[in-house]
A and B are shown apart, each in its own frame.
Chain A
Amino acid sequence: MSTTVEHLPGDSTPGQDQDRSASVRAMLKGADARRKRTDRGMTVMVYLAFALAMVPLISVSWTVLSNGIERFNLYFLTNSMRGVFGGIDAGGIYHAIVGTVQITLAAAVISVPIGILAAVYLVEYGRGLLARSVTFFVDVMTGIPSIVAGLFAYALFAVFFGPGIRMGIVGAVALSVLMIPVVVRSTEEMLKLVPNELREASYALGVPKWLTVVKVVLRTSVAGIVTGVMLSIARVIGETAPLLITVGVIDSINNNLFEGRMMTLPVYVYRQYQQGYVPCAADAADCISTINFDRAWAAALTLILIVMALNLLARLISRYFSPKLR
């Protein structure tokens, strides 16, 4: 069979076809010079904004890395500040790592269940006045200055243990006040993303509501919830002011959340910076006058590395749990 298209009677001649093509070509050419200019201008601005946003990030990373790398070694990570004084070339942050990890973990243990359950209530059960007021107060909590959270936790424990109380757990409570609203908000958004059809599919199989919430809604959104929790941890792990009030400062290792002061990384950085230059005698062999700043930078580097590691872990977890297509 022939595949050429026949000209039907009444169809135009080849000459007319060319005229029409020319006019269509002119129509489609897009002679809109103004739009092209705007497009180019906006593209340049978007790239510029991106570059501008990268400047502080790269600058901070570079400064912390270049200043902190010198003292950042195994000795620094595995020793405390006990018995370290003046400008001697010693001292580390082991006690601060212990404190930061324990206090942040305890804060997460307190806030994650409360936050997730509150979000489940708001999305799956909450109606009317109670739900609206919970939402409102969560919003208010988001705006609490961290120092106020610290004062609150201190005042709460002072009621039971008397004034001057300083314990790791008080700091954890202060951090959880800051953490809970972040967990609630992010979890709420994730739960709202779960299509209603999945809930109905589960109900239609004769699955009770609470099992639907646990095994379908939470399971479907777990990747996003993990990401939200990790972000909230990253938000509080660098808090300084509330920990200064509630946990205090110490030079030696304290492994007990429920007794005595603890050191934490942000407070350590602040403390070292505060101590400033060490006046070294001209002939002192074992004296570095910038030792306190060096330690502060190295501790800051450690803190950033911990946050980065947490973020990587969150990505791995959320990739593992997220729905797969094939």
Chain B
Amino acid sequence: MAQRIDVKDLNIYYGDFLAVEDVSMTIEPRSVTAFIGPSGCGKSTFIRTLNRMHEVIPGARVEGTVAMEGVDLYGDEVDPVAVRRQVGMVFQRPNPFPTMSIKENVLAGVKLNNKRISKSDADALVESSLRGANLWNEVKDRLDRPGSGLSGGQQQRLCIARAIAVKPQVLLMDEPCSALDPISTLAIEDLIAELKNDYTIVIVTHNMQQAARVSDRTAFFNIAGTGMPGKLIEMGDTATMFSSPTQQATEDYISGRFG
């Protein structure tokens, strides 16, 4: 399932504004890669280029290549809609569809695409996805209730279930726990640890302990000042990054001394 992503010389623009400059990195399959860095340094912007969600914003564009197993996702013959089916995404704020029940939310990727699915297949997909998101036991008796009636942590796991129901190769998570309490956060972190057996996972987080707990590799982004582009400062194994980073800026950020 999981695929490897190679990013080379990527510049990301909003109109004329260069938001992120010259990023090159490799994201390993079946692992968790964490992006850390101060607010506004381009982590979220960068993660959104990995499934071409960046270009949804008017005027946004990229230069450089993002290759999945050698195929450039920004190539001419590549359909952004197909990219997003292979590279799923979970957002900062839980965003279940308010008009849909829990079950319909999980099946959203199928239903919204007008694909036909037999009832038994649909039920099986709902159960496996919700089990995959550690939510099945909590909602199995109320699958036809609205998804927005769940708690924040449950909603976020519902969004993860919805994302993995499309069976993507890669799962991007943009600060998935920032709106959640510690217990829900723990549930999501446990889930990430399970999901990495099947998926390539990329997570943006402001919580350094979280990055240290869940990730195998960590990338540190930084920004020189307002109006300047964000840059990838350093990337390495999480253990190394948190114990002996090679860059002074990384060490300052991780230890809480900067500026």
Question: Which residues of A are interface residues toward B (Cβ below 8 A)?
Answer: 127, 195, 197-208, 211-212, 215-216, 219-220, 321, 323-326
Contact = CB atoms under 8 A, between A and B. Distances in A.
Main secondary structure of the interface of B (DSSP, over half): mixed
A325 B147 CA distance: 8
A208 B81 contact: yes
A277 B166 CA distance: 75
Given A211-B112, A212-B112, A195 B95 contact: yes
B97 A198 contact: yes
Contacts of A215: 111-112
A326 B147 CA distance: 8
Contacts of A323: 98-99, 146, 148
Interface in B24-69: 51, 53, 56, 58
Contacts of A206: 81-86, 109, 113, 166
Contacts of B182: none
A326 B149 contact: yes
B206 interface: no
B93 interface: yes
Contacts of A198: 95, 97-98
A220 B98 contact: yes
Interface of B: 51, 53, 56, 58, 81-86, 88-89, 91, 93, 95-99, 108-109, 111-114, 145-146, 148-149, 159, 162-163, 166
Contact of B91 (A200, A212, A216): A200
Nearest to B148: A325
Nearest to A204: B89
Contact of B95 (A201, A321, A325): A201
Contacts of B95: 195, 197-198, 200-201
B149 A325 contact: yes
A202 B112 contact: yes
The 8 nearest A-B residue pairs measured at CB: A206-B85, A323-B98, A204-B89, A205-B109, A197-B95, A206-B84, A326-B149, A207-B112
B178 to A, nearest CB: 14
Given A202-B112, A205-B112, A211-B114, 6 more contacts: A198-B95, A201-B91, A204-B53, A206-B85, A206-B166, A325-B146
B53 A207 contact: no
